[in-house]
Structure 1
Amino acid sequence: MRPALPAVTALITAALLTASPALADAPAKTPKVVASIKPVHALVAAVMQGVGEPTLIVRGAASPHTYALKPSDARALADADLVFWIGPELEGFLAKPLEATATKATAVELMEAPGVALLDAREGGAWDPHDHGHDHAHEGGHEEVNTHVWLDPDNARAMVGAIADALEAKDAAHADAYRANAERTARGLAALDAELKAALAPVQGKPFVVFHDAYQYFEAHYGLNGVGAITVNPERRPSAKRLSDIRAKITSLGAVCVFAEPQFEPALVDTIVQGTKAKKGVLDPEGANLPDGPDLYPTLLRNIAASLKGCLGT
């Protein structure tokens, strides 16, 4: 007598699983994830710890303001399931490739993440003439926005939540790991925030000038007193008149420090501080010289705080 069909099916299934144990316990496929810039990559890597690693587009000391996509970047985008970026206002070089190349990917614009607070780009005084090439009209109703949203740790926590949500939606098998990582990262950011508030309290109110207006979120969050920028567009070298105007304003505003950036001609600061009492420092909004990975973001904020305190506090 032949066994009933369900019994045959059960025997075949058992035989296959015995012959190939991997079929019984195949690991869940991890999505291929791409992150645009180093701070975004750091937050994504923190949420993906133990599951997978995202691919970074803008590496090393390169800047999203001047970046040109490489063939390897295009290949990563073509293979991606998820792409995390700030948005077209910052990484303009990614806008068209996301449409044309990353055809199977879900693109997550973190500037639009729930809970991210946006600040309008500054104008007036030493912040103008206003011609930011990287801050454009914003769909959320802002005529112009400052795009460096990650430098407010509250925004970073909101971004971590959006990153975890997107990863869970794409990869439900690892949802528990993503959520646990996101919660741990949020707790770490809260502790970091308290640490930096205490460290920066003594230099609140002391005026300083930055290379370009990348630090508005950091300044607003910690009550700092940035009074102007050397250039309003880091893609263009400031004119001689602009440099002369900034030098005059350093004196009139009593700026204690002028900060360069590693990505953009720090030697300009030497020219600007000549004949003034201002000291020189370096601020890096993106972690140009920091190793990639989940530790980059807290190190980035600590380095900015240390540079500000070191120059303003002496």
Structure 2
Amino acid sequence: MWKSGAAAAALLAGTGAAWAEVPRVAADIAPVHGLVARVMQGLGAPQLVVPPGASPHGYAMRPSEARALDQADLVFWLGAPLTPWLQAPLEELAAEARRVELLETEGTLVLPFREGARFESHGHEDSGGHGAHDGHDGHDDHDGHESHDDHEGHEDHDNHDGHEGHADHEGAHGHDHAGADPHAWLLPQNAATWLDVIAAELSQADPGNAAAYKANAEAGKQEIADTVASVSAALEPFRAKPFIVFHDAYQYFEQGFDLNAAGAISLSDAAKPSPARIAEVRDAVAELEVACVFSEPQFNPGLVATVLEGTGAGTAVLDPLGAKLEPGPQFYPALLRDLGAAVAGCK
């Protein structure tokens, strides 16, 4: 049973649905929040737990964000590999809520961590991705958290997209990088899959609005497809050019748009790279005639300057979390366009 007082009692214009029928929903990061907002559009709005620009790792929730979890009927989160700190608050604050870990849902493509500073040229059919978590139907494990046992090895991945304290990490930081790369929202096919998952969960919670959730999900998938087509066209001149990213957060975007990343200054957890790794990346920039070295707004630009020094490579800024974008139903297509424009426009 959904918690009482879930929303205002007013009827929504044109839908005939009452806000009181719509479950209260929370989402962890802005890309997930955007997808949930798209499915709920016209019916309600989810609450965002980690605000744009904040670190998904080690984030200290404000009282309003903790309250959003405490009052939620449904929580959508990417999963423990990205935000291991969120597991305890979910257990404590959202104990009665249905919790959906998107990385564990059926149909999600999950890629393994990459270790090296330089990436091998890849045919995507050999990417090593785990096709779909075939044993999961997206519903069975979330309430009891049985599936969380698989993530114990990820608790040491301290700063996946986190931006505080990276300077304290040395290259030999002892992290175990086996397992899932959590940046799975950057693959458009995953986002489209999750729209269906979100619609199914909301429909189960709120059967009276099931048709609206399904219609919103279908419209959202079409918007993503249209955005992918336009971004792909814009990226065509860049597609064969090797480039370097600041931290290894983009292999899903590379796969989705058939891009040719040559390496990363830092690992996927964005820990401070060792001098040997920086030297290896500098060599790659020279040897491969790298077109661009991408920085990120949350990280030290000095490392990018070091890699660029004495080369003819260009530079631009990528932000996998879309910190400057407006949260809401159109966030995800805007994120794809923002990333595509940054890559295509790098000089």
Give 1:108's aligned amino acid. V
Matched, 1:147 2:174: no
- Structure holding more helix per residue: 1
- Provide the secondary structure at the position in 1 that maps to 2:252: helix
Matched, 1:227 2:262: yes
Distance 1:32 1:294 in 2: 16
* CA shift for structure 1 position 60: 2.3
Q: Which residue of 2 aligns with 1:17?
A: none
Counterpart among 75, 82, 94 of residue 102 in structure 1: 94
Matched, 1:180 2:215: yes
Distance 1:235 1:273 in 2: 19
Deviates more, 1:62-71 or 1:144-153: 62-71
Superposed CA deviations along residues 105-157 of structure 1, whole A, max 9, x for unmatched, are 111111122221111112335269xx95467xxxxxx9412111111111111
Distance 2:286 2:57 in 1: 30
Q: Which residue of 1 aligns with 2:194?
A: 159
| Percent of residue pairs bearing the same amino acid type | 48
Give 1:68's aligned amino acid. A
Distance 2:39 2:96 in 1: 22
Counterpart among 21, 34, 48 of residue 42 in structure 1: 34
Distance 2:57 2:260 in 1: 25
- Provide the secondary structure at the position in 2 that maps to 1:184: helix
Superposed CA deviations along residues 36-82 of structure 1, whole A, max 9, x for unmatched, are 00000000000000110000011121121342333322211111101
Give the TM-score, by structure 2 length.
Answer: 0.75
Superposed CA deviations along residues 259-309 of structure 1, whole A, max 9, x for unmatched, are 011122234312321122211111111111111111111111011111111
Distance 2:57 2:241 in 1: 29
Give 2:195's aligned amino acid. V
Give 2:343's aligned amino acid. L
Give the TM-score, by structure 1 length.
Answer: 0.83
Superposed CA deviations along residues 183-234 of structure 1, whole A, max 9, x for unmatched, are 1111111111222222212211211010111110111121101111111154
Distance 2:80 2:187 in 1: 19
Q: Aligned residues, how many? A: 281
Distance 1:124 1:79 in 2: 43
- Provide the secondary structure at the position in 2 that maps to 1:209: strand
Q: Which residue of 1 aligns with 2:228?
A: 193
* CA shift for structure 1 position 237: 2.8
Distance 1:188 1:287 in 2: 18
* CA shift for structure 1 position 243: 2.6
- Provide the secondary structure at the position in 2 that maps to 1:83: strand
Deviates more, 1:158-167 or 1:56-65: 56-65
**Structure 2 segments unaligned to the other structure (5+ residues):** 1-10, 121-155, 161-176
Conserved 8 A contact 2:262-2:284: no
Counterpart among 245, 256, 275 of residue 310 in structure 2: 275
Give 1:149's aligned amino acid. A
Conserved 8 A contact 1:35-1:56: yes
Distance 2:58 2:244 in 1: 22
Conserved 8 A contact 1:38-1:286: yes
Distance 2:236 2:111 in 1: 22
**Closer/same/farther in 2, CA of residues 26 and 221 from structure 1, 3 Å limit:** closer
Conserved 8 A contact 2:118-2:263: yes
Superposed CA deviations along residues 7-49 of structure 1, whole A, max 9, x for unmatched, are xxxxxxxxxxxxxxx9xx9934321100100000000000000
Matched, 1:238 2:273: yes
Give 1:247's aligned amino acid. R
* CA shift for structure 1 position 241: 3.7
Deviates more, 1:63-72 or 1:96-105: 63-72
Conserved 8 A contact 1:157-1:189: yes
Give 1:257's aligned amino acid. C
Matched, 1:248 2:248: no
Distance 1:76 1:309 in 2: 38
Q: Which residue of 2 aligns with 1:264?
A: 299
Q: Which residue of 1 aligns with 2:73?
A: 81
**Structure 1 segments unaligned to the other structure (5+ residues):** 1-21, 136-141
Q: Which residue of 1 aligns with 2:85?
A: 93
**Closer/same/farther in 2, CA of residues 66 and 275 from structure 1, 3 Å limit:** farther
- Provide the secondary structure at the position in 2 that maps to 1:302: helix
Deviates more, 1:107-116 or 1:193-202: 193-202
Query: What pairs with 1:59-78 in structure 2 (closer than 5 Å)?
Result: 59-78=51-70
- Provide the secondary structure at the position in 1 that maps to 2:211: helix
Larger Rg: 1
**Closer/same/farther in 2, CA of residues 132 and 227 from structure 1, 3 Å limit:** farther
